[in-house]
Structures are given as structure tokens and as C-alpha cells.
Amino acid sequence: MEDIRYEHGEEVTCCLERGDVDHSGGMDVADLTWLVARLFLGGSPPPCETEGDADGSGGIDVADLNYLIAYLFHGGPLPPPCN
Ligand SMILES: [Ca+2]
């Protein structure tokens, strides 16, 4: 899945919710599992890379994992909007 494509001249992004790494429609432990697999175990990239970039930094790294853990378990801020 490409992150951004164009339909009828309008930009369409695959990103619905940043932090929903597995593109399941919500954020939970499965998203953490996907990030850990991607970062440390050679796992597949997320269906939509932008959704894996939980902190909106422009790429996927360990900071996204920390951000998502903070959000899910420690009352941290919601990941920023997709755009
Ligand atoms: Ca998810």
C-alpha cells in the first residue's frame, strides 16, 4: 500500500489513524507487537508506513514504540493526526 496516491487529482492517504500500526482500526498491544517485530526482528513494514510513525517524526524508529507505550499504558498523548 502506498502512503499517498492520487485519485482524480486529489491526494489520498492510506493513513487513517497514526499509531494503528497493523491498520486494524484501533490502537492496542497488537500494534506494539508489530512495531517490535519491525524494529528488532526483521518483521514486515506496516500496511501503511505513516500509521507506524506514531510520533509523527517522519519515520519509524524506537521513539514510535516509546510513544505508543506511553499512550496505551501511561496516559501519554494521542498520536498526532495523519497529516
Ligand atoms: Ca491496530
Domains belonging to the chain, first-starting first, are 4-73 (1.10.1330.10)
For residue 48, the tally of other CB atoms under 10 A from its CB is 22
> What would you report as the CA-atom Rg of the chain, rounded to the nearest whole angstrom?
12
Residue 17 alpha carbon to ligand 1 centre in Å: 9
**What's the pTM value of the predicted model, to 2 decimals?**
0.86
CA of residue 79 to ligand 1 center, whole Å: 13
Ligand 1 centroid to residue 25 C-alpha, Å: 6
* 12-59: pLDDT as tens digits: 789 999 999 999 999 999 999 999 999 999 999 999 999 999 999 999
